Structure formats: C-alpha cells, structure tokens
Structure 1
Amino acid sequence: MPPSDPAETPVPHLDEPCWERLGRLPVVPDDEPLVPMSLAPEPVRVFPAYARLGIPGAVPECFVRESVHRRLLSVARGLPPGLGLVVLDGWRPWRVQQYLFDTLFEVMRARHPTCDEETLLACTREFVAMPSRDPLAPSPHLTGGAVDVTLCDADGLMLDMGSQFDEASAASHSDHLERLDAPDARQRRARGYRRVLYHAMRGAGFSNLPSEWWHYDFGNQLWAHYGGHPQAHYGPAQLDTIEERWKRQLGDG
C-alpha cells in the first residue's frame, strides 16, 4: 500500500479533555437547524442505536446540524470502495443523556464497590458526558454537533472495529489498537478500519473524542478544544415541534 493510504497511518494519541476547562470555552450560538440523516443518500446508512435498544426518550432518527450532515456526506463519498458510513447517533435529548449517565454510573458502582463518588464519576465521564442543558456548557450530543459513526461493508453489515459501540472499556479508546505490541489478524484489520474512519472524519473537519473511536464532533466545545478554535458555534439544540411552528406562524413565537 502507498504511504498515503489512511489504513497505514496510525491514529494519534490525544489526552482526555478537562471538562471543566472545556466548559469555559465561549459559545457563540449558530441558528443552524437540526436535519434528519435518514434523508441522506447512500453510502450513508442510518441506524438510531438508542431507539433500537428501547432507551426511554430516544428518537427513531439521527438528527444533526446541517453542516454536520453535509460533512458526513463528504466523508461517506470519499471512503474506499466497498465501505459505507453508518450513523448511530447524533442529537441526543437531555433525558437520554441522563439515562445513559445514570445507568453507566450504577454499573461502575456495582463493579467497583470500594471506589469513592469522585472516582466513579471520573470513570463514568470517560464514556458518557455529564448531562447538561447549560447554554454555556452543554453536553456534546445535545448540541447536534456530536455524532457517533462506524463503517459498514457494501452489504450494509457493520465492520469489526475492535470493540463494540458504547463499550465502556479501554479497547474503545481510539488509539488502543495502536498501542498493542503484537496485534493478531483481527486486531490489525480493526486497526485499519479505525484509521480509515479517523482520517476520513478528520479530513472533513471533525475532531475525535479519544476515549471513543466512534465519537466525532463539529462546531461544539469539544471540537473547539481539539481543533484549537477560539469558540464553539453550537449550543444546546431542540427539535422543532408543531406547536412552535404554529406559534411562529401566528406571530406568537
């Protein structure tokens, strides 16, 4: 393979974010709308993972900001032949964020009964951001700028990326497979897929959360942090409702 082949270019190591410092990055809100990814043409596929799992409050669609939608299309169209992009989650209601955080926290507490509250919170935040509707420090998925993605083959079957989506283990760290001394054939193959996904997403302007190979950001505070941008563009977002539309149409909104 040529040196420029993304499957041969390692995923770099990045430090975990300091969430307190992250929340101090300014947010200059953009009114860009949320749009459904299900309207995107192939090779994008949409599989709203949390709705399929029956998580309370999850919506059966993957909504993202308009710029995120266009960038994901660009990523999908630029993938090597035979590969497609699967969108697993985008905008996430606050209720779902709270459910995920509380559920993982309780699992962590059951597994590590001697750990104090601060340690358990840190372990939980490694994989699920603290639920927040604060316009100055919203949860990444609440902004519509965070998206969870993976790769699939030409038949739409999701590829083995070395860990499951939302697996709360070190194997989910983006560079985990880069740090193995003697990866086996399966791990080498998964490492190549992670590299392809990482470099395709980075090339479209996204940043990656180091603890999750599937999580990418554009326009929010995580993106500003890892991209060295002075400010974020996306604050908390809400889906448009028929009630809000009627209010606007009647001049009450």
Structure 2
Amino acid sequence: MTTILLSDPLVHAIRVRDNGEPLVPLPFAQAVLVRSGLAERLGRARSVLPSGVDLRVIEGHRGVADQRAIIDEYSRELRVLHPDADEVELTRLYSRFVAPVAVAPHVAGAAVDLTLVDEGGEDLWMGTPVDATPEQSGGACWFAADVDPTARRNRAVLAHALTGAGLVNYPTEWWHWSYGDRYWALMSGADHAIYGPVETGVPA
C-alpha cells in the first residue's frame, strides 16, 4: 500500500469547514494547546491505557512561523543530501517529517506529538526518540517500521488507545496523531476537515 504524504494533492484537495472550536490547554499538559474536540478525545484515549501507563504530550498547536522554521531547517539538510532534487521532490521529502504550512495539522491545532510514559513519568521505549527524522532513525520513525518487540508492543498500545478515540497516525512518524484536519479527513473518509489554520485561539 502506498503511503500518502501530507504533500500529496489528495490532502490539499480536502475541503475545510472549520467548526470554530477553540484552542484549549490539555488538562494533563497545560502548556500544550489543541482544539477542544481533540482534547476530549485525548482524555478518552488516556482512560483505556493499561494501568501504570500514560500519555506524555510534547507538542500540540504550532504557529505558522514555527512551522516554516522547521520546514526551512530540514529542507537545508535535505538539499545537502539530495542536491539534484527539484522543489517538488524536496517538498515530498520534507513532508515525511514536517507538513507543508497549508495543510499542517499542528497549525490547525489538530495534532499532537506524544509518547507513552510509565507511572514514574519515564518514557517507554518506542524504537526511536520523538522527532527523529527518517535519516537520523534509518527509517525506524515510520510507525510500521521493523523495530524490536518492546517498541512494537508499545506502539501497538499507543495506536489502540488513539485510534479508538478517533485519531489517525501520520505513518512516517509514530508519535504524530491528529483529529479534524485534512489528513484525518482523507484517512477516515470524512467529507471535510473540521479544523483549519488557527492562531491565538481564534479559528481562521
């Protein structure tokens, strides 16, 4: 099965009808802002995790400037590694790790980067650190990568909780899950996205 990346025209073609939900702090991660509907679903996901296991959310909403900064930094690395790549190919390559601004789930307040922790707050082993690029991880950042049994088991626990709450994974990043954005709409079969770009708590 071919992986659909966030740079794919299929994602850009999804309509957005923003439902106006505000950005809210996560009750269990006050520094992280997400849309209220996503916050509710993350709470639901936490409730079905095994005893002694919890979510650690590292990032939620991200401003446009921050999104562009990540794109620029990673693109510079890719240009060195792929000097013959044109802009279309470069966009495809960087979208394995960071979304084009126009369709970025984080910019819509629709995505979280997260992992699992034990009851002492220590990260469980997931095969790679959060935010390991395809190059840094040798491809192990892909959710379905051939990782060791402990990491595979922990990824399955994470996926069970989050998919059960209605989120979808971006397959090149085991830690990235979203709800309500264009990628979610495409993957879930929804007629349209319900979250578009948002800044300072006011939907665009």
TM-score by length of 2: 0.90
Partner of residue 140 from structure 2, selected from 167, 171, 190: 171
3-state SS of paired residue (1:172)? coil
Alignment of 1:1-253 (within 5 A): 15-17=3-5, 19-37=8-26, 40-41=27-28, 45=29, 61-132=31-102, 138-169=103-134, 170-177=139-146, 187-240=148-201
What is the aligned length?
A: 197
> Structure 1 residues 118, 26: CA separation in 2 closer, same or farther (over 3 Å shift)?
closer
Equivalent residue letter for 1:214: W
Higher strand fraction: Structure 1 or Structure 2?
Answer: 2
Distance in 1 (alpha carbons) for counterparts of 2:2 and 2:161: 17
Residue deviations 1:154-196 (CA, integer Å, cap 9, x gap): 110111210111111111111013xxxxx6xxx1100100011
Structure 1 residue 236 displacement after superposition: 1.2
Higher normalized contact order (CA 8 Å, seq sep 6+, divided by chain length) = 2
- The code of the aligned residue for 2:114 comes to V
User: If the length of structure 1 is used for normalisation, what is the TM-score?
Assistant: 0.73
SS in structure 2 at match of 1:211:
coil
Q: Distance between the aligned counterparts of 1:223 and 1:111, measured in 2?
A: 30
Give identity over the alignment, percent.
Answer: 34
1:29 partner amino acid: D
Question: Structure 2 vs 1, CA of residues 233 and 117 (structure 1 numbering), >3 Å: closer, same or farther?
Answer: closer
2:106 counterpart SS class: helix
Residue ranges of structure 1 left out of the alignment (5+ in a row): 1-12, 47-60, 133-137, 178-182, 242-253
Q: Which amino acid aligns with 2:109?
A: G
CA distance in 1: counterparts of 2:159 and 2:35, whole angstroms: 20
Give 1:131 deviation, angstroms. Answer: 1.9
Question: For the residues of structure 1 that align with 2:39 and 2:165, how far apart are their CA atoms?
Answer: 11
Q: Is the 8 A contact 1:14 1:210 kept in 2?
A: no
* Residue identity in the other structure for 1:16: I
**CA distance 1:14–1:75, change in 2 (3 Å):** farther
Structure 2 unaligned spans of 5+? none
Change (3 A) 1:212 1:140: same
Provide the rounded CA distance (Å) in 2 between the counterparts of 1:196 and 1:16.
23
Output the CA distance in 1 between the equivalents of 2:3 and 2:85: 23
Compute the RMSD of aligned alpha carbons: 1.8
Residue type at the aligned position of 1:28: R
Give 3-state SS (helix, strand or coil) of 2:151's partner.
Answer: helix
Match of 2:157, SS state, is helix
Distance change in 2, residues 1:106/1:223 (3 Å): same
Deviation at 1:20, TM superposition (A): 1.4
